Structure 1
Amino acid sequence: MIRGLPGVSPGVGSQVNNGANGTNTVDLRGLGAQRNLVLLDGNRLVPSRADGVVDLNVIPLALIDRVDLLTGGASTTYGADAVSGVVNFITKRNFTGLDVRFANKILGTGDGYSFRGDITVGANFADDRGNAVLSFGYTKVDPVYQIQPFSIFGISSTTGRASGASFTSVPTTISFPTADLQVANGGGSLVPQYQGFNFNPYNIFQTPLIRKSIYAATHYDVADGVEFYARGMFSQNTVQSIIAPSGVFGNALTIPGNNPYLNSTIRDQLCTANGIPLGATCNTNPAIPLPGVYRRLVEIGPRVSTYQNNLYDARIGTKIDIAKSTSLDISASYGRSEQTSTQSGYVITQRVQQALNATNTTTCIDTTGNCVPVNLFGAAGSITPAQVAFLQAQSTIRINTELYQARAVLSGDFGSFLPTSDKAISYAVGVEYRKYKYDRIPDAFAQDPSALGGAGGATLPFTGGYDVTEGFGELIAPIVTDKPFFNDLTLEAGIRYSSYNVQAAGSPHFNTTTYKGGATWEPVKGVRFRGNYQRAVRAPNIGELFAPTVTGLTNVRTEPCVGTAPLSNANLAAVCIAQGAPAASIGLIQNPSAGQANATAGGNALIKPEKADTFTLGAVFTPSQFVPGLSISVDYFDIKVNQAITSALPSDALNACFGNITAASATSAACTSIRRNPANGRLSGPSATTFGLQTPLTNNGRYATDGIDLTADYGHKFGEFGLDLNFRGTWTNHLQFSASPTSVSRDCVGYFSVNCGPSLGQILPELTWQQRTTLSAPGVSLSVLWRHLDSVQYEGQAPDYVARGFTAANRNLFSGVVTNAAGASSALAGQTVNFNRIPAYNYFDLTLQFEVAKEFVLTLGTQNLFNKQPPVVGGQAGSTAAGSGNTFPSTYDPLGRSFNAAVRVKF
């Protein structure tokens, strides 16, 4: 429903798999979902998570009448968070009758089936003084796995090789400071690593979803000029994120020399690598070190995170006509969101160590929990079901979010008293109170950073909240009407004062003021110019204030300590060692596994609200006398966010230390704050020992974006036949981001990389549009939707690539012929590619609708009519959340052609 709105960028959606959080979000202008508001009938809904963002899955689809989009700042009208705008879903107010809808969709490949059903009933009552409506909805979406020819094998963005994209392998790899050795095929010995793990086929392009919803609303005229209204909602959404199997991801372990699964050859190799004398000292050693163990436990199956989101929301209010042109609207609401996420298929790392400490195949030295000895030296399938049962466990995290709201608005007009206008000056003043509460309750496994293999770090408990009291006022004054060259001149102004009380010791109490001024000028009928300036604000959300510091994952394609460069640069080597790399690993350090480096960050109770200046300037043309049915609007937008709440990008953290290799200091805080894997010097590894990059939250960031929106609509009847043309397009001139005054101001319009896209690393082409052509005849209509995305290129291709942290050696992705590595058989092998550029993309959707009867409508449709395949750029060209399956699935369609059929019966 929102895809065609101007200014919309991909947020978390059904194509986000690794990095999903069980929600669906919208991002306006590419500034992040936390910088816009999602409203239902002009009112806030309870957010689903600590970032304050509303889950779009809770919107009652069947009752939506229209979607109003306000971009360029709306904090004065709706309060903080509306920096980039508002998406306001408006429901039908007076619904009567019965409306039944069923829709089915399936991919051209025969999978990816989805079903949606809605039943809505409504009626007037009490001699039409009231109306009540009740709607039930059910949706089920099946997963689509990354088994397409372009995605089934991970392809390196830098080498063009289709292979196992993860260092964590099958069979096991053991990382020593001087070498990475893997169990040979057949298990006889350790050899240099020869095969990584291909995680792509386990991942998904379409997230499975089951949604159940109930929506009820009523309004009733209690007396003349007094209306009571109420709304109630319940939504239950079950979303699954499916990713590749868990395992042991670089943990330092030990093994007895007489372990039954350890043959003599491998045992002797381990002892030699650790400087342990061979013979009895080795053979009976109770704890031979395994510095960094990497093994995917494919025997367990994929990691599955199941999110069950329950939302309860109720609102009541009354509207009272105090005078002919004055009314008072008083309302209150309560919303509660409950998310329970269950993580299954995870290896418990401590149990791996316990299961390695064995001298026979049936009993562990420590028998706690009915331990079963494990075989880490066999091929895929060598870990038995009994071993799997002991090694794995589920983990549960519960999140509860609450929102209390109360509001009173007095609106009316002062009448018309200006000599130049006969229109009344209208106003609205009011007060509003909101209280947010948040509670995250993880179990013991989730809290332990070393427990869940491949969970990306600890999930710690925290509780937070704040309340805000606001007063606001708006004024709309028609200054001149019905005068030559001034058919209408209207000025508007508004102000909102907000007082925040943060519920945490040491947190500052802060106040904000947002204000706006605007004007519309219609010199003649059919030509209207408009402009608006607003000082918008965004208060820090609960996560930004209270989230505990933890080590998680970020994206780094390559970094300075990798490879042989430190061997020829003593200063660089000293810096790498000061960051925790073993001296023996210098010259052998590898890039982060799967392009994912560790990063440590958390909330900051001392951060303050962001401030933004937004400008819009536009014109609307409706030349009804010359071209009836034509409407054109063009708007320029300019948004600058100062004191932005941000954390450093990976490139910023690395450049702070390594920006000048010769000047990099082994004692500087910028360098020593980076903490490497103590086993092998990499920036990836167990989060309990490898803290990676430090990326704390600050108010030092800045965003700036500007561009032009163009919409055009034309409709005309040719007798019984009709033609409707609609165009929605956005040209984005800049989207600049800097994490601090000293970091590069990175403009990401038209570029992609792990650092581009301040929200999720999504692509923002310079020009995007959608154009719909609809031909209609009595009882039938044919519609074609054309979706266009401009060409983009890798960020290293930017003219200022040096300032962006690239070098001549790493500014290019792969360009050449795709090849297969050992064990891989990609269908793209032998094809010539250039991962540095994605050409312009055009998609076409076709919809055919039949009004079989007044009460019965049948709709048939095809999306991606020509089965356009997504661009292939490899697995490291973007962030984990944005890039998956060798492409950008939230920007480009990875599913191919699909077909849908829907029926609607209305009485």
Structure 2
Amino acid sequence: MKKTTLSALKAGSAPVVLGLALLSTQAFAQDAAEEAPEDGNVIVVTGSLIKNPNLVQANPVNVTTADAIELKQSNLAEEVLREIPGVVPNIGSAVNNGNGGSSYVDLRGLGSNRNVVLLDGNRIVPADLAGRVDLNNIPLALVSRVDAQTGAAVTTYGADAITGVVNFITKKDFAGVDLSLGQQITERGDGAFFRADLTVGANFDDGRGNAVLSLGYQKSDPVYQGDRDFSLRQVSSFTGGPAGSGTGVPGRFSGTRPLIAGTSTPDTNPLTANGGVRQVNSAGQAVGTFATFNFNPYNVFQTPFKRYNIFAQANYEVSDSVEVYTRGIFSKNTVDTIIAPSGSFGGTVTINLNNPYLPSTLRNQFCAFDTDSGAAYVARFDPATCAAAALATGPTDARYRTVTVTYNRRATEVGPRISNYSTTIFDYRVGLRGRITDTINWDVNGSYGESEKLQTIKNYTLQSRWRQAALANNTTTCIDSSNGCVPVNLFGDDGSITPAQAAFLTADSSTRVKTTLTQLRGLVSGELGVSSPGANNPVNFALGAEYRSYTAEQASDLLAKTPGELGGAGGAAPDIDGAYNVYEAYGEIIAPLIEDKPGFKSLTLEAGARYSKYNVRGGGKPETWTYKAGLSWEPMDDLKIRGNYARAIRAPNIGELFTPVTVGLTNLGVDPCAGAAPTTNANLRAICLAQGAPLGTIGSITNPTAGQANIATGGNLNITPEKATTWTIGAVIQPSFLPRFSMTLDYYNIKVTDVIGAPLPGDLIGACFGSVSAASATNPACTVIRRNPITGGLDGDPAITQGLFAPLDNLGTLKSDGIDLVMNYSHDFGAVKWNASFVGNYTLHQKFKATPTGIDRDCVGYFSVNCGFTGSIPPKYQWSLRNTFTYGKMDVSVLWRHIAGVEHEPLDIIDQGAFFSGTAPAGTGPIAGTQVDFNKIPAYDYFDLTLRWNVNDNFTFTAAVQNLFDKQPPVVGNTAGSTSYNSGNTYPSTYDALGRRFAFSARVKF
């Protein structure tokens, strides 16, 4: 057996057994493939010199090399992962409304909080309360490869790794200078992305040490939805026509009686529905129909981004048996999200009837509003009192009267809402490693990291200022004149709010999220010195102990933490402060059982276990065990069979433990209580009333504006860990009759029980309204839904409207299984060399069951507000095929990506009805007059072309065309899915919304 030397330890390698099974440890697993000897049992990834760990261990690993990243001209780690089959796009640069300033990865579509992101096999400080790593901070310029390991890795990496790990491997012992400059731009001339990276490294003291420093800068410009034809006008997924938000210009009011048709006199018929929300027209009358606000042009398909990053690492051999190593990361990045203007989104305002801006017709409608909860009509004020109130001189006047209504008005005069997220992170690690014997190694290290993300929001109006400015005796003086109050015309058209009024209505606000991670770890690994009777190579082992301490806090200013104060902020940002730590001990072995016997070229066992003890601040101290076992059987040189089984535990993160129940937003296009249905169905009417809808609103309740309903959700300290079982089985084929070809085929199965989660909107609505004829107004699933006490809807002021209720619990189950196929081949045609690589995924199921008696929802191949519950669309199958042809110093590479077709989720059709199918009406942009079916998205194919010219050993020039044929994304409207992933009438995280793009880069190395 070859001895392990300090030179191997520099790269963090472990002993290799037969080149087919790695000692899978937290410190060493990441680079064993890089250091493995190039014998017949080690496969090289086609087109690079990086060994493929897919072919040397029992658990499947998908590998993306630095060469593939360069050919793709990727700028961000999130972009690299987004297009890997089996990875469901999560929050990233294509998410605008819903982007919290960080980017995440979601393996298998089971949640970005169920996998771990590593850098050289080590955790780095998370960026949020959920313990997730921000991919924006990964130093992509120094990445050698990216390994995405499928299946539970909790015995190796600890909690969170239920669905696997994504491990970014950096280049080791770098010496020289590497300068790279890149520029991208779309064919439309927007979305520019500039990137510059400088890496400097050197060996010193006769090779005993190495130090490297990498500096990076990236900057991207926004791409507005208004600059693409298909997204210029918002389209309703249900009607197929122009749509938008009910908060528009001019304002809308509840608490008004409708007018008798053709007159300016309120209708006092007690049988007439007297609630609802009505918009002021040019004559100052509240009318039943209203124009929606088209918010699409303000939103962006590519969030503007800027980053400065520094990465440094060094190692030095203190003696022949001891080495010191260190690594430091510093990154500062800013992400801006840009959405349509703020305003009053259904907040309550009190209006005095002598307000100088109040039109007389609207005043009469306010006065005639039905205030009786019975069948009889009772006006709010009689006509004489109403007329006298119009002449009142002020609050001390006996004639003075006020009315309280809900108010929706888009403050277009203020400009778009901008959230600036500025994240600063540093993470430092230092350690010692060496040899105990020639075959046993040790490693002791510690690290500390901090992340601080500051969200500053601009151009948001304050609901308290709307209320203050609504009470005015004249056009210059508010009744409450504090704070420099300026009266605002609540009833005017676009442009009626003056700059002075806009300045009074708005104020900046901020929220800070700070996290820390402290780690200490010790590891001993190597050979046990014993072998199986049927094998020659010894058993390898790893034993370790680890301590991790997490803290996280969210601190908001008074504006951000006050429910409903910031117009359109989507809910309050409460103060949160939590912490926990964990002590762990673990061990792993890899044991060759049989070698070089008939039918058994090798049979190798892998096994591991980890004990974890948690200590939650103010909470419990749970103890958990996780374990795994795997077999690798190589009956002959050409074939290897591998399988792995793991029992996993995921402890709740700080956000799940410490976030109080808070009202926010969820997606819901259709409210069962909306429209005329409750007037004809007594059972439905009783349910709507039991949920808090005023009697007078029955028959005129509207669907949630912009498809967004209120929801109350939060965590608690009583949440217990999730449990999961995962197993994989597959084959590695390297046929001798076809040299330079390799294939891996693996089946994976992941099941999570006691899921920390909450029911989906469809589950909540279905639990109450699933069968209206059998539904009951006393059913707790119905009465827990609380409606707007003024409009009867499920949206509006979060201070008074809870909406749906979905606190976190441990009642759900998650399941996913599927097949991964990876193939690599290379062949020489004389002077031309051909390299081909194929990566494909076929997902059989992706199920979520919120409660034991709830719907077992399978979302593979479907899209809706419920499917994509952790990310964007999960297609049934997807694959990518890269062909690269090399002739002399030129490389020509073509990447073909395929995404299977998807359909509207059948269960969502039952809940909300089918999406539009037919001839698109006028006002819907390029689809107007064409036959469309929003219930289906066909299969999509994208092609990228890259030309790379290796001018000499020191200079490389690369040019790429992404989305070569300018394939336009599918149009399905803006209410087909969640706000985060269904935006601009499409799904921009899954389908390319930017169009054809050109990328150029120059790289100098010496």
What corresponds to 1:571 in structure 2? Answer: 683
What corresponds to 1:121 in structure 2? Answer: 200
What corresponds to 1:595 in structure 2? Answer: 707
What corresponds to 1:494 in structure 2? Answer: 608
Measured against aligned partners, the alpha-carbon deviations of 1:554-575 in whole angstroms (never above 9, x if no partner) come to 0111122111111122121111
1:82-161 equivalence runs, <5 A: 82-147=161-226, 148-161=228-241
* Displacement of 1:811: 3.3
**Structure 2 residue 991 is matched with structure 1 residue 877:** no
State the percentage of identical aligned residues: 52
Does the aligned pair in 2 maintain the 1:500–1:510 contact within 8 Å? Answer: yes
Distance 2:543 2:531 in 1: 20
Does the aligned pair in 1 maintain the 2:532–2:591 contact within 8 Å? Answer: no
Measured against aligned partners, the alpha-carbon deviations of 1:728-765 in whole angstroms (never above 9, x if no partner) come to 000000001111111100000000000012303x2111
What corresponds to 1:554 in structure 2? Answer: 666
What corresponds to 1:301 in structure 2? Answer: 415
What corresponds to 1:63 in structure 2? Answer: 142
| Closer, same or farther: CA 805–194 of 1 in aligned 2, 3 Å | closer
- Return the structure number with greater strand share: 1
* Displacement of 1:290: 4.5
Opposite residue 488 of structure 2, the aligned amino acid is V
* Displacement of 1:276: 1.8
Distance 1:111 1:777 in 2: 34
Does the aligned pair in 2 maintain the 1:655–1:805 contact within 8 Å? Answer: no
| Closer, same or farther: CA 681–267 of 1 in aligned 2, 3 Å | same
* Displacement of 1:828: 2.4
Does the aligned pair in 1 maintain the 2:531–2:592 contact within 8 Å? Answer: no
Q: Which runs of 4+ in 1 moved over 4 A?
A: none
Measured against aligned partners, the alpha-carbon deviations of 1:844-896 in whole angstroms (never above 9, x if no partner) come to 00000001121000000001000101001111100111100111110111111
* Displacement of 1:643: 0.8
| Closer, same or farther: CA 276–4 of 1 in aligned 2, 3 Å | closer
| Closer, same or farther: CA 116–65 of 1 in aligned 2, 3 Å | same
Distance 1:483 1:213 in 2: 53
Distance 2:437 2:961 in 1: 54
| Closer, same or farther: CA 462–875 of 1 in aligned 2, 3 Å | same
Distance 1:621 1:286 in 2: 87
What corresponds to 1:374 in structure 2? Answer: 488
Does the aligned pair in 2 maintain the 1:271–1:288 contact within 8 Å? Answer: no
What corresponds to 1:626 in structure 2? Answer: 737
**Structure 2 residue 773 is matched with structure 1 residue 662:** yes
**Structure 2 residue 654 is matched with structure 1 residue 542:** yes
**Structure 2 residue 156 is matched with structure 1 residue 46:** no
What corresponds to 1:281 in structure 2? Answer: 389
Does the aligned pair in 1 maintain the 2:412–2:494 contact within 8 Å? Answer: yes
TM-score (norm 2): 0.87
Q: Structure 1 regions of 5+ residues with no counterpart?
A: none
**Which of the numbers 919, 922, 941 marks the counterpart of 1:817?**
919
* Displacement of 1:174: 1.0
What corresponds to 1:430 in structure 2? Answer: 544
Distance 2:772 2:967 in 1: 45
* Displacement of 1:267: 2.2
* Displacement of 1:264: 2.4
Does the aligned pair in 2 maintain the 1:261–1:375 contact within 8 Å? Answer: yes
What corresponds to 1:684 in structure 2? Answer: 795
**Which of the numbers 835, 848, 869 marks the counterpart of 1:758?**
869
SS at match of 1:661: coil
Does the aligned pair in 2 maintain the 1:268–1:282 contact within 8 Å? Answer: no
Q: Structure 2 regions of 5+ residues with no counterpart?
A: 1-79, 256-273, 370-378, 393-398
| Closer, same or farther: CA 833–6 of 1 in aligned 2, 3 Å | closer
Distance 1:805 1:831 in 2: 23
What corresponds to 2:457 in structure 1? Answer: 343
SS at match of 2:526: strand
Opposite residue 223 of structure 2, the aligned amino acid is V
Opposite residue 180 of structure 1, the aligned amino acid is V
TM-score (norm 1): 0.97
What corresponds to 1:73 in structure 2? Answer: 152
| Closer, same or farther: CA 825–712 of 1 in aligned 2, 3 Å | closer
Measured against aligned partners, the alpha-carbon deviations of 1:212-246 in whole angstroms (never above 9, x if no partner) come to 00011000000001110000110001001111111
Distance 2:644 2:924 in 1: 57
| Closer, same or farther: CA 361–535 of 1 in aligned 2, 3 Å | same
What corresponds to 1:199 in structure 2? Answer: 295
SS at match of 1:223: coil
Distance 1:126 1:5 in 2: 42
| Closer, same or farther: CA 849–834 of 1 in aligned 2, 3 Å | same
SS at match of 1:656: helix
**Which of the numbers 609, 616, 620 marks the counterpart of 2:728?**
616
**Structure 2 residue 305 is matched with structure 1 residue 209:** yes
**Which of the numbers 266, 276, 284 marks the counterpart of 2:362?**
266
What corresponds to 1:459 in structure 2? Answer: 573
Does the aligned pair in 2 maintain the 1:659–1:805 contact within 8 Å? Answer: no
Opposite residue 936 of structure 2, the aligned amino acid is R
**Which of the numbers 288, 292, 295 marks the counterpart of 2:406?**
292
What corresponds to 1:838 in structure 2? Answer: 937
Measured against aligned partners, the alpha-carbon deviations of 1:357-376 in whole angstroms (never above 9, x if no partner) come to 11111121111111111011
Opposite residue 688 of structure 1, the aligned amino acid is A
SS at match of 1:121: strand
What corresponds to 2:698 in structure 1? Answer: 586
Measured against aligned partners, the alpha-carbon deviations of 1:127-153 in whole angstroms (never above 9, x if no partner) come to 110000000000000001102111111
SS at match of 1:703: strand
* Displacement of 1:188: 3.6
Opposite residue 426 of structure 1, the aligned amino acid is N
SS at match of 2:469: helix
Deviation larger for 309-318 or 370-379: 370-379
* Displacement of 1:548: 1.2
Deviation larger for 440-449 or 826-835: 826-835
SS at match of 2:971: coil
Distance 1:619 1:818 in 2: 49
**Structure 2 residue 910 is matched with structure 1 residue 806:** yes
SS at match of 1:427: strand
Distance 2:276 2:819 in 1: 54
| Alignment coverage as a number of residue pairs | 890
**Which of the numbers 268, 275, 279 marks the counterpart of 1:178?**
275
Distance 1:715 1:640 in 2: 37
| Closer, same or farther: CA 535–361 of 1 in aligned 2, 3 Å | same
**Which of the numbers 213, 236, 241 marks the counterpart of 2:332?**
236
SS at match of 2:549: strand
**Which of the numbers 853, 856, 868 marks the counterpart of 2:955?**
856
Distance 1:829 1:699 in 2: 47
* Displacement of 1:268: 2.4
Distance 2:150 2:86 in 1: 8
* Displacement of 1:626: 1.3
Does the aligned pair in 1 maintain the 2:389–2:400 contact within 8 Å? Answer: no
SS at match of 1:9: coil
Does the aligned pair in 1 maintain the 2:82–2:105 contact within 8 Å? Answer: no
Measured against aligned partners, the alpha-carbon deviations of 1:586-643 in whole angstroms (never above 9, x if no partner) come to 11111111110000011121111111110100101112x3111101000000000011
Does the aligned pair in 1 maintain the 2:198–2:215 contact within 8 Å? Answer: yes
Measured against aligned partners, the alpha-carbon deviations of 1:757-796 in whole angstroms (never above 9, x if no partner) come to 2303x21111100000101111100000000000000003
| Closer, same or farther: CA 150–236 of 1 in aligned 2, 3 Å | same
